[in-house]
């Protein structure tokens, strides 16, 4: 028994970090696919006739099935079937959804009878958008399920090890995917093809599935060493009765609402950020995407260090407040100052500072949950927080698309008409980002994003008050000396 304990796979630095890299790469490819079309809003408008409303509906579709309850089901599957089965299932769903989305936006699909049938009902949404949204829904189920699974896998492999650092590194690698795709997507679409970037990222998702299968082989060997027939102890299984206990917790609701408000001002903004920069700075799509791609970089670098800081120094509750405050300032600057002073260096500065906010809040938020939720219902609580978060991520992109359309009357129609003239060679493509009659005004949208930050900041204050009253230890270090 002593010999067995001395030779567990996760005792090997190389083995446990190799396992982390395998699953982190899967999430890296997933994050790339999430934002592969974010820099292509203008192109998809011209090539497939999507309006801002359509683009918002497509962006919201990623979360629709999760909001309808799939994410709760995903937690049950993870508890019942373990990391290996759930991870393989989630990666497979991402690949399947990506393939459907790819088919939906191809030129070939536009000429099929099935596309004509899709066009014939709910005519406000083109058939290509319906098909792409269906694929994105399925992909979204796999992506959110993968996020929960990866967290549990890291907790298993790094138990008693450098867990906070490992989670920070995994998050950093995943965010690098956003940087990569914001650079690659416009480059791959240079010839005017919206299909090429999606096809490329679909292949990467298949590689991610293979990576997780390799990890599963390692994890199976690790389980044999532990003498376990399954990933979890029975006490960790999801029970329906746990939902009532979680929903009755005031601290759960404060954290869950803070989470949904904060992320609703970040991820939906990413969908529109490239087009916002195009219209506000009057620059091409490629330049706008290259500018915004730096948003996740500082977050990627800082998050592991902030995680370690919280482990040893604390101040998690304060970090949540500071992160929300920084986000408010950034979005208000996007709304009112950048349009008056449209300089690329200034936009870059705001984007980088927003990345600081994106480091502070996630680094402090997720380690705070175990301090306020009982261990036996912790896994279920995480699933429910993700579920509530997905509600916001589902509806906010659609709301922003509707607001963008209604606050810019006639712009969508003008852009659509210009796109047809561009495709016919009667108009130069640069009019879409240089002529005022084709430029969206994003002021109202940015005010909405900043208002989410204000509410998140107020919830952060409430969280600190409750922590001071009840002594949950949100400001204390995670590591007990």
Residue with tokens 């509530």: 388
Quote the CA–CA distance of 351 and 241 in Å, as a whole number. Answer: 44
CB atoms within 10 A of CB 262: 28
Can you tell me which residue has the tokens 């492999």?
A: 157
pLDDT, residue 74, reads: 84
Contact 180, 29 (CB under 8 A): no
Q: Name the packing angle between helices 344-372 and 316-332 (round to 10°).
A: 150
What is the domain partition of the chain in residue ranges? Answer: 15-217+235-470
Name the 3-class secondary structure at 192.
coil
Q: What is the pLDDT of residue 279?
A: 93
Q: What is the pLDDT of residue 231?
A: 46
Q: Which of 475-480's residues contact partners 24+ apart within 8 Å by CB, and which partners? A: 475/314, 475/315, 475/316, 475/317, 475/318, 476/314, 477/310, 477/311, 477/312, 477/313, 477/314, 478/164, 478/310, 478/311, 478/312, 478/314, 478/367, 479/311, 479/312
Task: Say which residues have a Cβ less than 8 Å from residue 15's Cβ, sequence separation at least 6.
Answer: 9, 218
Question: How far is Cα of residue 202 from the mean position of the Cα atoms in its chain?
Answer: 17
What DSSP designation does 124 have?
T
What whole-number distance in Å separates Cα of residue 62 and Cα of residue 77?
A: 20
pLDDT at 164: 67
Rounded to whole angstroms, the Cα distance separating 120 from 128 reads 12
pTM: 0.77
| Structural contact between residues 456 and 334, judged by C-beta atoms closer than 8 angstroms | no
Pairwise CA distance, residues 363 & 165, whole Å: 10
Comparing C-alpha atoms, which of 305, 402, 407, 414 is closest to residue 362? Answer: 305
Q: CA dist 107 to 5, 191, 195, 478, Å?
A: 58, 14, 8, 53
Q: What is the pLDDT along the chain (481 residues), one digit of tens a residue?
A: 444 445 788 888 889 999 999 999 999 999 999 989 888 877 887 777 788 788 888 888 888 888 888 888 887 788 778 889 999 999 999 999 999 999 998 888 887 888 888 878 776 788 888 999 999 999 999 998 998 888 888 878 887 677 767 777 888 888 888 888 888 888 888 877 889 999 999 999 999 999 999 999 999 888 888 774 444 444 445 566 667 778 888 988 999 999 999 999 998 998 899 899 999 999 998 899 889 888 877 777 887 788 778 777 878 888 899 999 999 999 999 999 999 999 999 999 999 999 999 888 877 787 777 778 776 666 677 778 888 988 888 889 889 989 999 999 999 888 878 877 877 777 887 888 888 888 999 999 999 999 999 999 999 999 999 988 888 888 887 665 5
Q: Of 128, 183, 150, 143, whose CA–CA distance to 34 is shortest?
A: 143
Treating both helix axes as pointing N-terminal to C-terminal, what angle do 378-406 and 344-372 enclose, rounded to 10 degrees? 150
Would you identify the CATH topology of the domain 15-217+235-470?
Answer: Growth Hormone; Chain: A; (1.20.1250)
Q: What is the structure's pLDDT at 5?
A: 47
Q: How distant, in Å, are the alpha carbons of 44, 177, 221, 342 from that of 198?
A: 12, 14, 35, 31
């Amino acid at each position: 028994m002593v010999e067995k304990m001395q030779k567990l796979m996760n005792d090997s630095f190389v083995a446990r970090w190799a396992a982390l890299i395998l699953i982190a790469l899967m999430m890296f490819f997933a994050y790339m696919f999430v934002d592969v079309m974010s820099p292509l809003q203008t192109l998809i408008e011209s090539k497939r006739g999507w309006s801002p409303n359509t683009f918002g509906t497509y962006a919201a579709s990623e979360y629709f099935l999760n909001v309808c309850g799939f994410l709760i089901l995903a937690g049950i599957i993870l508890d019942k079937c373990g990391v290996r089965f759930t991870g393989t299932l989630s990666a497979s769903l991402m690949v399947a959804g990506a393939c459907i989305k790819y088919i939906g936006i191809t030129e070939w699909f536009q000429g099929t009878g099935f596309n004509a049938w899709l066009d014939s009902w709910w005519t406000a949404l083109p058939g290509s958008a319906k098909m792409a949204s269906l694929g994105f829904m399925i992909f979204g189920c796999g992506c959110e399920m993968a996020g929960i699974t990866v967290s549990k896998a890291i907790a298993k492999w790094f138990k008693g090890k450098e867990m906070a650092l490992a989670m920070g590194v995994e998050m950093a690698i995943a965010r690098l995917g956003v940087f990569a795709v914001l650079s690659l997507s416009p480059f791959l679409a240079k010839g005017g093809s919206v299909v090429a970037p999606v096809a490329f990222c679909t292949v990467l998702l298949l590689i991610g599935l293979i990576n997780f299968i390799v990890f599963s082989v390692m994890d199976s060997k690790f389980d044999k060493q532990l003498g376990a027939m399954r990933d979890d102890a029975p006490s960790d299984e999801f029970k329906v009765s746990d939902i009532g206990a979680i929903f009755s917790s005031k601290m759960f609701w404060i954290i869950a609402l803070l989470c949904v408000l904060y992320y609703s001002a970040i991820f939906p903004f990413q969908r529109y950020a490239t087009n916002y920069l195009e219209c506000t700075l009057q620059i091409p799509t490629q330049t706008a995407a290259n500018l915004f791609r730096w948003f996740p970089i500082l977050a990627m670098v800082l998050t592991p260090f902030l995680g370690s800081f919280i482990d040893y120094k604390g101040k998690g509750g304060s970090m949540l407040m500071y992160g929300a405050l920084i986000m408010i300032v950034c979005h208000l600057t996007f709304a009112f100052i950048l349009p008056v002073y449209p300089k690329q260096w200034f936009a870059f500065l705001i984007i980088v500072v927003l990345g600081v906010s994106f480091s502070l809040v996630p680094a402090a938020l997720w380690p705070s949950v175990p301090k306020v939720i009982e261990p036996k219902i912790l896994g279920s609580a995480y699933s429910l927080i993700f579920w509530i978060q997905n509600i916001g991520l589902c509806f906010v992109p659609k709301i922003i698309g509707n607001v963008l359309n209604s606050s810019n009357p006639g712009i969508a129609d003008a852009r659509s008409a210009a796109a047809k003239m561009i495709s016919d060679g009667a108009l130069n493509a640069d009019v879409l980002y240089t002529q005022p009659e084709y430029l969206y005004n994003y002021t109202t949208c940015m005010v909405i994003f900043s208002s989410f930050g204000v509410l998140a900041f107020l919830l952060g204050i409430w969280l600190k008050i409750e922590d001071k009253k009840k002594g949950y230890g949100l400001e204390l270090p995670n590591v007990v000396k």
